[in-house]
Amino acid sequence: MDQTGKPIAQGGGLLTLTEPWPGMLRTIYGDDARYQQVYWSKFPGRYFAGDGAKLDEDGYWWLLGRVDDVLNVAGHRIGTMEVESALVDHPAVAEAAVVGKAHELKGQALAAFVTLKEGHKATSSLKDDLKDHVVKKIGAIARPDDVLFSADLPKTRERKDHAPPAEGHRRRTSPGRHHDPG
* pLDDT tens track for 26-42: 888 889 998 888 888 88
Q: Phi/psi of residue 61, each to 5°?
A: -90, 135
Give the residue extent of every domain in the chain: 11-62, 69-173
pLDDT tens per residue across span 62-74:
877 777 677 888 8
Specify the DSSP class assigned to residue 79. E
- If you write DSSP's letter for every residue of 118-165 in order, what string do you get? TT----HHHHHHHHHHHHHHT-GGG--SEEEE-SS--B-TTS-B---S
pLDDT confidence of 147, banded at 50, 70, 90? very high
pLDDT tens per residue across span 106-145:
888 999 999 999 999 999 999 999 999 999 999 999 999 9
Neighbours of 87 (CB within 10 A): 26
Q: What Å distances lie between residue 78 and 31, 72, 86, CA to CA? A: 31, 6, 12
Give the whole-angstrom CA distance, residue 13 versus residue 2.
Answer: 5
- Domain 69-173 falls under CATH 3.30.420.40: no
Give the whole-angstrom CA distance, residue 165 versus residue 159.
Answer: 17
Q: Are β-strands 146-149 and 107-116 bridged in parallel, bridged antiparallel, or unpaired?
A: parallel
Give the whole-angstrom CA distance, residue 3 versus residue 14.
Answer: 7
pTM: 0.58
Identify any residues that bridge with 173 across adjacent strands, giving them in sequence order: 95
pLDDT at 179: 39
